């Protein structure tokens, strides 16, 4: 006897998309043209629906650009079924090829896509991790991401966050590789290693996506050897992000894993790097590549090439929440990035992230992203916060 058909879930229609640029405590990035506290480099996005359910996401770019991008995308979004994130997001990608794909529009679609997954989770009562494939784990280790500094200051900084419970650290940018001083570079790494907790991990990020990065392959080869001598866990962005030949050559010679890919967007951009064997570890940013829909496809594709996936959505609480959900839904994900001391991660949620006694983060299993923004806290960092939370 055939089982009776189940009723399908009624569509949940998108009625409005709101954007709130974050300003006031934008953390330094180590860039040549340094970020100021009042610069906008991240924006929160809210997708409102006719069911009274709102999903939230995050985009990594100037909030003014996200506002403009949403105006371009609105005609493709309003009235769409919010319960179909992959289809709706792909519709946005497919209909904006000629308007700047891979750039601001893709970054904006990222935040929208995260919000759609958040809505789907709220409607179904499932966490995104379960919706995206199931839960391989219920907690994961965050690595504290810090800017490099002079050796004594670097040691103090690692110690500060070690005392907060972090057991893994990534240091990057700052003076490293920018003063033509190998002894300084090694002294910074040595100071950081000495400050680690017992059994702790250290990763190094050269930050070669900085403007006018001065070094090439030979610097990266020599530096990779030095980092291997200090038992560094991986070497990130060691050459300019588009130099695929240098990535391939470096990965072949390096004694430690080579990581990269955080500035690439769209899954298609990752394919040649994976085919050529440019990375040991690929780091797509969920707030840039096209959201969770695209991030999951990149991670699965990397898995097929034997490349480890570790997300880069460290920049806001919602980016980190999205990375946590995908860390649950994919095999062999043992780390997520966590920027140290950012208000946009630590000070905008109802319940902030909290490390456990082992230095791990619990992966929420409540519906959607599993985290809640605090409207009053968000308002401290965005003059447009009210738009996110206003009921239709």
Same domain assignment for residues 148 and 289: yes
Domain-embedded: residue 4: no
- Contact (Cβ atoms closer than 8 angstroms) between residue 17 and residue 46: yes
CA contacts within 13 A on the Cβ side of 370: 21
DSSP reduced 3-state for 341: coil
Residue 107 Cα distances to 82, 212, 264, 302, 392, angstroms:
19, 23, 11, 21, 25
pLDDT at 310 over 70: yes
Q: Look at residue 59 and tell me whether its pLDDT is greater than 80.
A: yes
**Domain CATH code at residue 21:** 3.30.390.10
In a domain, residue 98? The reply is yes
* pLDDT (0 to 100) of residue 391: 82
Mean pLDDT (whole number) for 231-241: 97
Task: Say yes or no: 73 and 176 in one domain.
Answer: no
Domain identity same for 182 and 249: yes
Same domain, yes or no, for 174 and 303?
yes
Expressed in angstroms, the distance from the first to the final Cα of the chain is 46
Please, are residues 54 and 22 in contact by the beta-carbon 8 Å criterion?
no
* Whether residue 65 is found in the same domain as residue 52: yes
pLDDT digits (tens, 9 = 90+) for 329-371: 999 999 999 999 999 999 999 999 999 999 999 999 999 999 9
Could you give the angle at which helices 292-304 and 104-124 cross, rounded to 10 degrees? 100
- 218 and 342 in a single domain? The answer is yes
Q: pLDDT grade, residue 9 (50/70/90)? A: confident
With beta carbons less than 8 A apart as the criterion, state whether 251 and 259 touch.
Answer: no
Contacts of 360 (CB under 8 A, 6+ apart): 139, 140, 141, 142
Residues 40 and 78 reside in one and the same domain: yes
pLDDT for position 314: 84
Per DSSP, the three-state class of 275 is: helix
Q: Are residues 89 and 180 in the same domain?
A: no
Asked if 175 and 321 sit in the same domain, the reply is yes
Whether 3 has a pLDDT exceeding 60, the answer reads: no
In this structure, are 261 and 384 located in the same domain?
no
One domain, residues 88 and 140: no
Computed over every residue of the chain, the mean pLDDT equals 95
Express as a percent the part of the chain with pLDDT over 70: 98
**Does residue 9 belong to any structural domain of this protein?**
no
Identify the band that residue 29 occupies on the pLDDT scale cut at 50, 70 and 90: confident
With a pLDDT cut of 90, the percent of the chain lying above it is 91
Query: Tens digits of per-residue pLDDT, 269-308?
Result: 999 999 999 999 999 999 999 999 999 999 999 999 999 9
Identify the pLDDT of residue 5.
Answer: 40
Global confidence as pTM: 0.96
Residue 318, CA atoms < 13 Å, CB-side half-sphere: 31
- In a domain, residue 370? The reply is no
CATH code of the domain covering residue 278:
3.20.20.120
Contacts of 313 (CB under 8 A, 6+ apart): 58, 285, 286, 287, 295, 319, 320, 322, 323, 337
Q: What is residue 8's predicted lDDT score, i.e. its pLDDT?
A: 56
Contacts of 268 (CB under 8 A, 6+ apart): none
Tokens of 138: 């219920």
Query: What pLDDT is recorded for position 122?
Result: 97
Please give the pLDDT value at position 325: 98
Residue 392 pLDDT exceeds 80: no
Domain around 44: 14-128+375-389
Q: Is residue 115 part of a domain?
A: yes
The predicted structure's pLDDT at residue 6: 39
Q: Are residues 174 and 277 in the same domain?
A: yes
Average of pLDDT values for 16-45? 93
Q: Apex CA 366: angle with CA 362 and CA 372, to 5°?
A: 85
Tell whether 334 is covered by a domain.
yes
Please give the backbone phi and psi of residue 142, each rounded to the nearest 5 degrees, phi first.
-85, 140
Residue 128 has pLDDT above 50, yes or no: yes
Provide the domain count of the chain.
2
For residues 198-213, give the mean pLDDT. 96
């Amino acid at each position: 006897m055939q089982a009776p058909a189940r009723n399908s879930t009624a569509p949940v229609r998108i009625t409005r998309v709101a954007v709130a640029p974050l300003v006031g405590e934008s953390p330094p990035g180590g860039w040549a043209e340094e970020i100021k506290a009042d610069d906008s480099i991240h924006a929160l996005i809210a997708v409102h629906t006719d069911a009274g359910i709102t999903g939230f996401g995050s985009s990594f770019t100037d909030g003014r650009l996200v506002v403009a991008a949403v105006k371009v995308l609105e005609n493709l979004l309003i009235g769409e079924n919010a319960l179909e994130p992959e289809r709706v997001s792909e519709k946005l990608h497919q209909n904006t090829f000629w308007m700047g794909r891979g750039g601001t529009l893709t970054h904006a679609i990222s935040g929208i896509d995260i919000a759609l997954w958040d809505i789907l989770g709220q409607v179904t009562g499932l966490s995104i991790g379960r919706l995206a494939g199931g839960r391989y784990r219920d907690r994961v280790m965050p690595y504290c991401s810090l800017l490099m500094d002079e050796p004594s200051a670097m040691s103090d900084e690692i110690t500060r966050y070690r005392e907060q419970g972090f057991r893994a650290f990534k240091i990057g940018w700052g003076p490293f590789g920018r003063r033509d001083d190998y002894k300084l570079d090694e002294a910074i790494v040595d100071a950081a290693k000495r400050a680690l907790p017992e059994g702790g991990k250290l990763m190094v990020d050269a930050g070669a996506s900085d403007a006018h990065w001065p070094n090439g392959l030979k610097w990266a080869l020599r530096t990779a050897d030095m980092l291997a001598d200090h038992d560094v866990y991986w070497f990130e962005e060691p050459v300019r992000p588009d130099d695929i030949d240098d990535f391939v050559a470096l990965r072949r010679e390096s004694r430690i894993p080579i990581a990269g890919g955080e500035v690439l967007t769209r899954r298609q951009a990752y394919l040649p790097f994976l085919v050529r064997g440019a990375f040991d570890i690929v780091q797509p940013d969920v707030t840039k590549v096209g959201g969770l829909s695209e991030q999951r496809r990149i991670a699965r594709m990397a898995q097929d090439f034997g490349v480890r996936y570790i997300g880069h959505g460290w920049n806001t609480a919602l980016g980190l929440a999205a990375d946590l959900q995908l860390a649950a839904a994919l095999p062999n994900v043992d780390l997520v990035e966590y920027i140290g001391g950012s208000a946009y991660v630590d000070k905008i949620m109802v319940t902030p992230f909290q490390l456990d006694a082992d230095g791990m983060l619990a992966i929420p299993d409540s519906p959607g992203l599993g985290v809640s923004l605090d409207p009053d806290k968000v308002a401290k960092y965005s003059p447009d916060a009210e738009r996110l939370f206003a009921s239709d």
